Amino acid sequence: MTTVVPGDAASRDARPVTGHPEPVFILSPPRSFSTIALALLAGHPRIYGFPEMLVFANETVADLVGDKGIEAERFPPEYRRTRLSGVCRAIAQIHDEEQTAEAVARAEDWLRERTHWSTSSVLDHLLDRVGPLIGAEKSPDTVATDESLARCLNSYPKARYIHLTRHPVTTQRSMHEQNQRYLTHRKVRVVGAASSWYLSHRRITRTLDELPRQQWMRVRGEDLVNDPRVWLRRILDWLRLESGDAVIDRMLHPEAWTFANNGPTGELYGGDHKFFSAPDLRPVPDPGPVDFDPEWDLPDEMCRRMSVLASELGY
């Protein structure tokens, strides 16, 4: 894999030419409307929307699927299978044009036969297969660490990046609810959600500031789901793609996305569990001011920093 320093134009030009258009990545922490945003984009006739691929959270396929890989070290077996279902169902759909249990099993076998590959090579393979469509992907894990986000930029330095935001209070409330299953200690959930929101968005803003301005766009998730016609057209114009009324009409049906379900077995994911159970476009209430719940008992300095960043992001 070519090593690239963000902001270094000569290094960016050094990446080998591939047979596919440069992809689009949605960058956001969890619970930021990223699955519905991806499903909306996937409705465009020139965009192929992938489920969460976990490409940049892992450097090699061995890290992703190996019994001694990074995923195996971090997560219990049952949760690993849920996490892996995104990349496996994508491979199954692209290789076999179906997501049956048998096709998904073949996809996992295909990965296990290529443990020496880099994870970005897997994505390149799939991007080549869906070309000339533009691949679009989002995984909150991409922005969870400096290393993961750097791996994304190093692998696809000429890609386009959508920085998707959501109000810090509603994001964290959603995280509290989602994480009850895995983080039973309330204080751990609360502080973890605040840290995830702040560190992920600060990491994204710092990284994108190093890129040419035309390579990235910031979109408030609330604006996208509440006024999709306006914001989808802005995104498409930025991508230089057709944005007529007929195209927008087609994009307003996220339930038509190939991955907008739990698959034939009902056990496939690769994004927001709630969306997969009801893949509809639903408006959300205005989030209001940035007032953190006193019951969360967050440190004053943490609240101050989140408020400053929220203001920078338009809240």
pLDDT per position in the chain (315 positions), as tens?
Answer: 333 333 333 333 333 445 899 999 999 999 999 999 999 999 999 999 999 999 999 999 999 999 988 999 998 888 899 999 999 999 999 999 999 999 999 999 999 999 999 999 999 999 999 999 999 999 999 999 999 999 999 999 999 999 999 999 999 999 998 755 655 567 888 999 999 999 999 999 999 999 999 999 999 999 999 999 999 999 999 999 999 999 999 999 999 999 999 999 999 999 999 999 999 999 999 999 999 999 999 999 999 999 999 999 999
Q: Which residue has the tokens 């409330």?
A: 173
Q: How many helices (H) and strands (E) does the chain have?
A: 15, 5
Q: How far are the Cα atoms of 10, 42, 66, 225 from residue 115, in angstroms, in the given order?
A: 31, 29, 7, 39
Domain annotation for the chain: domains and CATH numbers: 20-163+211-288 (3.40.50.300)
What predicted TM-score, i.e. pTM, was given to this entire model?
A: 0.92
* Nearest-angstrom CA–CA distance, 256 and 108: 25
Name the residue among 255, 31, 232, 256 with its Cα closest to residue 143.
31
